[in-house]
Amino acid sequence: MDPNRNQPPQDNKPEDKRPKGNLWVALIVTVVLVLLISSVVNAVINSQYTKTTYSEFLAAMENNELAEVEIRADRIVYLTKEEAAKPAAEQRACFTGLHSSGGTLALANELDEMGVKVDYQIVEDNSGIVLILYYVLMIALIFGMMRMLTRRLSGDGLMGGFGSSKAKVYMEKRTGVTFRDVAGQDEAKESLLEIIDFLHNPQKYTDIGAKLPKGVLLVGSPGTGKTLLAKAVAGEANVPFFSISGSDFVEMFVGVGASRVRDLFEQAAKVAPCIIFIDEIDAVGRSRDARFGGNTEQEQTLNQLLGEIDGFDSSKGVVCLAATNRPEILDKALLRPGRFDRRIIVDRPNLQGRLDTLKVHTRKIRLAEDVDLRKIAQATAGAVGADLANLVNEAALRAVRKGRQTVNQEDLMVSFETVIAGTEKKNSVLTDTEKRLVAYHEVGHALVAALQKHAQPVSKITIVPHTTGSLGYTMQMPEEEKYLQTSEELMIELRTLVAGRAAEQVVFGVKTTGAANDIQRATALARNMIAQYGMNDKLGLMAPASVSNPYLESQSYMDCSQETAALVDRESQALLQSCYEEAKELLLSHRPLLDEIANFLLVKETITGDEFMAYVNAEAKQLPEGTEESDGQQVEG
C-alpha cells in the first residue's frame, strides 16, 4: 500500500531552478554588449578630435595660433584659429595629455594675457570612481533587461530556454476535473481505472511481476473528451499532470524538439509518480517516410521520444498518455508493444451517454420544470460532448436575451436548431413564387418520409431562411437510436432526400438550386451503399472504396480500376434515378395532400410534426376500411 495514499494532496510542482550555466551565458553576453557600446561611444567622441603632443600645443601657443583652450585634469583640448574660421560642422579640435598639472594655473593666466579664450576646470580627480560606477550601472541595466526579455521569449529565463519543455504542470486543485465531470465514456473510464490503481498501489502489480503499459493512446473524433479524460485520470490519482501539445515539440531550429522531449521526461522523473499527456501526438509521431529524405527535425524529435519512452522505468509511476484523431498516420514504431501499445477508443456517446453528458453540463444551469433532457438527447444523435456543451451554453445565452431567469425546453430546442441550421435571417424577404417553391420542396421531403414505414418521424417544417444558406428545412427526429441500418432503410432515406426535387417537378415542372445539398447527400449515400456496404448485385461483396480517416469523417477514396469506378458511377446514378421516380409516384398519388399541407405552411411558415401528421392521418381516415396507401403501407401517426 502507498503510505501517502490517505494524506491530503500536496503541490508537487518542481522548483523553478534555472540552470546556472544560463546565468553565466547571460552575464558574459551583457559584458560583451557593454564593452561594445563603450567602444562605439568612445569612437564617436574621439572622431571629433585630433590627438597631438604637448610639444605641438606649446608650438601653437608660441606662434599665437590658438583660438580657444580648455584645460582639464587629464588633458588639454584646444582649437586653432584656422579650425575656428571653418563652419561649426567642419571644426575639428585637438587634444593632448597634460604635461604638468602643477603649472596649469600659470598656463591659464599666460593664455588669458595672450587674448585666448580659456576654460579652466581643474577639480579633484574622481574620474576613476565615476567610470567604475558608470560601467556597473550599465551592466546592471542591460542584464536586467535581458532577464525580462528572455523570460518572455523562452518561458525559461535565458537563451537556453529555446530547448526547454513548454509543458505545464497541473495538480488536482488546479484542474478540478475527475471522472464525475466526464460522462458518456464509461468504457474508456473503465480502461483507465487500472492506471489510477497502479499509481495508487504500484506494489500490488510489481509483486506479481506485472508491468503497466508505458503508453496509452486515446483515439476518437474531435470533441469526444480525450483531453478531459486525461485530466480526469490525473485528478483521480492525485498526481502531477504534464500537458503538452505535439506541435510544441516541432520547431524550425534543428535539435530543439529533441531537447524539449528530454527536458519533459527529466521533469517528470523528478516528481514521479505522474502523468505525461501529449495532445495531438500525430504532429510529432507521423510515420517516417524515406521518399522525401530523412534526418528531418520531426524525425529527430520522434526518435528522441521513442528513446525516452524506452528509457524510463514504468515501475516508478510515470505513465504517458497521448491523444489523436488520426491513428492511421502514426509511426509503427510508436505503437509497438512497450510503447503506446494500449489503445482506448473514445467514441461518440450513445443515447444514455448523451443524456448523462447533458446532465453534467446543465449541473450549474438553472433549468425550468418543463425541460426534458431525454428528448434533447434523442434529437442530438451523433453529437459529441463538445457539441452538447455548446448547445447548453447557447440555450443559456438565449434565455438571458429573452429576459428569463431559467432555461426552458424551447431554449434547448432552438439552440439545437441554431447549431444545425444557424439563426433565422429576419431581413431576408422571399418573393411569393420563391416561397411557394420552398414550401412545396420542404413538404415533399416530409410527405415522402411520412408515407414510408420505418422512416424517422418529422418533427418540424419551416420555410424561414437561416444563416447557413438554407431557405427552409425539414427536421426528422429518431424515436430510438440505431447502430445498424438495412438497405431498405437507406433506400427510404434516399427517397426522402430526393423528394424535394421531385416535388418541384411534380408541381412546377422546374429544377431549382435549392436541392443542391440534398443531391450531394443523396449521391454520397448512394455511392457508400454500392462501394462500401456491398448493397449492389453487380459488384456483390466487393468494396472498391475505403475511408481514409473514420474519426475525422473524411471522404472515401476509390481503390479500384477505372472500369470498376465507372461501374460504381453508373450504378449510383441508376439507384438515385430509381429513388427519384418512386418519390415522384408517391407525391403524384397524394397530390391533394401535398397542396393542402403546402398552403398551410405558406400561411404559418413553421409547423410542428404534430400539425403535419394531423393532415396525414386525416387523409388516412378518409380511405375505406382495409385500404392501403399507394406504396402498400398504412399511414400511422
Decide: helix, strand or coil at residue 97: strand
For 351-420, CATH number out of 1.10.8.60, 3.20.20.60, 3.30.1310.10, 3.90.480.20 equals: 1.10.8.60
Q: Which has the minimum average pLDDT: 223-237, 245-259, 439-453?
A: 245-259
Query: Start-end ranges of CATH 1.20.58.760 in the chain?
Result: 432-622
Strands 75-80, 93-97: pairing kind: antiparallel
What are the residue ranges of CATH 3.40.50.300 in the chain? Answer: 168-346
> With helix as H, strand as E and coil as C, how does 379-448 read?
HCCCCCHHHHHHHHHHHHHHHHHCCCCCECHHHHHHHHHHHHHCCECCCCCCCHHHHHHHHHHHHHHHHH
Please, what's the largest Cα pairwise distance for the chain? 141
Q: Which among 149, 157, 144 has a CA at the least distance from the CA of 263? A: 157
Using CA atoms, how far apart are residues 492 and 517, in angstroms rounded to an integer? Answer: 17
* Region 286-310 average pLDDT: 74
Give residue 438's pLDDT.
93
Task: Tell me which of 442, 493, 571, 582 is the catalytic residue.
Answer: 442
Res. 326: pLDDT tops 90: no
CA atoms of 167 and 426, how far apart (whole Å): 48
Cell triple for residue 174?
488546479
Q: What is the DSSP letter of 589?
A: H
Share of the chain above pLDDT 70, in %: 78
Compute the distance between CA of residue 342 and CA of residue 219 in angstroms, rounded to an integer. 11
What is the fold of 432-622?
Answer: Methane Monooxygenase Hydroxylase; Chain G, domain 1 (1.20.58)
One-letter amino acid of 590: H
Q: How confident is the model at residue 315 (pLDDT cuts 50, 70, 90)?
A: low
pLDDT for 426: 67
Scan for cell 443542391, then name that residue.
Answer: 516
Q: Is residue 266 predicted with pLDDT exceeding 90?
A: no
- Which ranges constitute the DSSP H helices of 327-370? 332-335, 351-361
Band of the pLDDT at 48, cuts 50, 70, 90? low
Residue 477 above 80 pLDDT? yes
* Whole-number pLDDT of residue 336: 86
Q: How far is CA 191 from CA 233, 269, 346, 354, 432, in A?
A: 11, 24, 11, 20, 59
pLDDT of residue 21: 47
- Provide the whole-model pTM: 0.67
How far is C-alpha 352 from the geometric centre of its chain's CA atoms?
28
Q: How far apart are CA 135 and CA 393, in angstroms?
A: 60
Quick one: DSSP state of residue 553?
T
Residue length, the chain?
637
Average pLDDT over residues 625-636: 40
What's the pLDDT at 570?
Answer: 94
Amino acid at the residue 209: G
- Give, for 488, the enclosing helix (H) or strand (E): helix 487-507
First to last CA, the chain: 62
The pLDDT value given to residue 582: 94
User: For strand 241-245 and strand 473-476, is the pairing parallel, antiparallel, or unpaired?
Assistant: unpaired
| Region of poorest pLDDT, from 262-271, 352-361, 520-529 | 262-271
Does 626 have pLDDT greater than 50?
A: no
Q: Known catalytic residue: 488?
A: no
Residue-level pLDDT at 589:
93
Class of domain 168-346: alpha beta
For residue 236, give the nearest of 161, 292, 319 by alpha carbon: 319
- DSSP assignment of 516-539: HHHHHHHHHHHHHHHHTS--BTTT
Amino acid letter at 80? T
User: What is the pLDDT, as a whole number, of residue 120?
Assistant: 65
Of 368, 374, 339, 371, the closest CA to residue 356 belongs to 374
Say how far apart CA 166 and CA 238 lie, in whole Å.
Answer: 22
pLDDT in tens, 72-114: 766 788 778 777 777 766 666 676 766 555 566 777 777 777 7
